[in-house]
Amino acid sequence: MIPSLDALETRAPQEREHALMAALPTQIAHAQRNSPAMAEKLAGIDAASISSRAALAQLPVTRKSQLLAQQKARRASDAFGGFAAIGFGPAMPRVFASPGPIYEPEGGRADYWRMARALRAAGFRAGELVHNCFSYHFTPAGAMMETGAHALGCTVFPGGTGQTEQQLQVIAELRPAGYVGTPSFLKLLVEKAQQMNADTTSLRKALVSGEAFAPSLRDWFSQHGIAAYQCYATADVGLIAYETEAREGLVLDEHVILEIVRPGTDDPVPDGEVGEVVVTTLNPDYPLIRFGTGDLSAILPGACPSGRTNTRIRGWLGRADQTTKVRGMFVHPEQIAEIVRRFPQLGKARLVVSGEMASDRMELQVETEEGGDTLAAQIVDAVREVTKLRAQVQFVPPGTLPNDGKVIEDVRNYQ
């Protein structure tokens, strides 16, 4: 059982940063020794020198698509593509599969996915019964929550998904203190309980994930007597961030190093700017260094009013992979980044694809204090060289483009 989570959550930010940066070289050296895939990506890197965020930002990002490709290429000899530092046996009690499929190992440590912290923030306490409606097969969501609940000292009913009427019977008879699962299934359960006159009044709290959680739905749960909180986790790195009673963004987990990078690049953006979530985990069993989640978020300024001192993010703001097909050609965010990289006088850029089916138009909007026909013509040529397509160029003042992480915006009319 985890005795206390507050000591780490409330330490001084400088103390936390020092601890994370002190652990980083050891984790990189461990990955180089025990993870063949990470050893390849980090070849020639002096692990001892990677002791700051600036140094970490010089390492390559590994995105989910690359992880899947490497797993597929090496599947005959290594199901995990060389990324795992452990193998089948006592050190790996379970293996899970995400769409792709991507195979993820589960190590044998208590609270392997570090979910206890999120459950505790949502109000769960030792001695309570948790009704777990995340899937228990193929994907790790059910196990992620269960191992966290066990570490917190809770008992778990493995409800899984579906079988609504049976779920309601269990809730009425076992009277769990709270629910974990997707917000949409919890809403379905509450509505079905009203139709059947089933007793779900024991459910006073919930930790939800796996879907967007709108404030309107949060308020709906509150009106039905359930205080629901959200967390952000992935099958690759476990818990990333979680909501607190302050309900002002999500607080980072204590055992991850998070960066926000500009979509299509490996480059961190200034705090507050929306970009792709990149996580370095301190998990020795699956030592992913600079793993690109493909999700968009942004750093929030200031500390959480709950008293927790770790960095906060805005939560899930969409997907970073905005690949779009234009006139039969795929256009990727990486290509837009390459175009901008060729012109140091340019800032942020956004490719807007408009028109109707079979009549696509592209306009590259770029922030710059300069402009003129010569620069526009050079950018048009660069767009054609990189994407094999023609685009118009629109210059806009710095700070004009929306802070939403979009590099490619598709506004075509498909009616």
Domain with CATH 3.30.300.30 in the chain: 324-410
Closest CA to 266 of 337, 349, 319: 337
Average pLDDT score, the chain: 93
pLDDT digits 0-9 by tens, 271-312: 999 999 999 999 999 999 999 998 999 999 999 999 999 999
Closest CA to 159 of 138, 187, 180: 180
Taking each helix axis from N to C terminus, what angle separates 373-387 and 333-341, rounded to the nearest 10 degrees? 140
- 3-class secondary structure per residue, the chain: CCCCCHHHHCCCHHHHHHHHHHHHHHHHHHHHHHCHHHHHHCCCCCHHHCCCHHHHCCCCCEEHHHHHHHHHHHCCCCCCCCCCCCCCECCECEEEEECCCEEEEECCCCCCCCCHHHHHHCCCCCCCEEEECCCCCCCCHHHHHHHHHHHHCCEEEECCCCCHHHHHHHHHHHCCCEEEECHHHHHHHHHHHHHHCCCCCCCCEEEECCCCCCHHHHHHHHHCCCEEEEEEEECCCEEEEEECCCCCCEEECCCEEEEEECCCCCCECCCCCCEEEEEEECCCCCCCCCEEEEEEECEECCCCCCCCCCCEECCCCCECCCCEEECCEEECHHHHHHHHHCCCCCCCEEEEEEEECCEEEEEEEEECCCCCHHHHHHHHHHHHHHHCCCCEEEEECCCCCCCCCCCEEECCECC
- What does the pLDDT average to over 208-212? 90
**pLDDT given for residue 5 in this prediction:** 59
**pLDDT given for residue 2 in this prediction:** 46
Task: Report in angstroms the alpha-carbon separations of 185 from 107, 138, 327.
Answer: 29, 19, 40
Instruction: Say which residue, 261 or 326, is predicted with more confidence.
Output: 261
Domain with CATH 3.40.50.12780 in the chain: 8-319
- What does the pLDDT average to over 23-45? 97
pLDDT digits 0-9 by tens, 361-403: 899 999 999 889 999 999 999 999 999 889 999 999 999 999 9
pLDDT over 50 (residue 199): yes
pLDDT over 90 (residue 38): yes
**pLDDT given for residue 1 in this prediction:** 42
pLDDT digits 0-9 by tens, 218-228: 999 999 999 99
| CATH class label, 8-319 | alpha beta
pLDDT digits 0-9 by tens, 106-122: 999 999 999 999 999 99
Confidence of residue 358 (pLDDT cuts 50, 70, 90): low
Contact, 273 vs 403, CB < 8 A?
yes
Taking each helix axis from N to C terminus, what angle separates 183-196 and 164-174, rounded to the nearest 10 degrees? 80
Answer yes or no: CATH 3.30.300.30 is held by domain 324-410: yes
**pLDDT given for residue 414 in this prediction:** 53
Predicted TM-score (pTM) of the model is 0.86
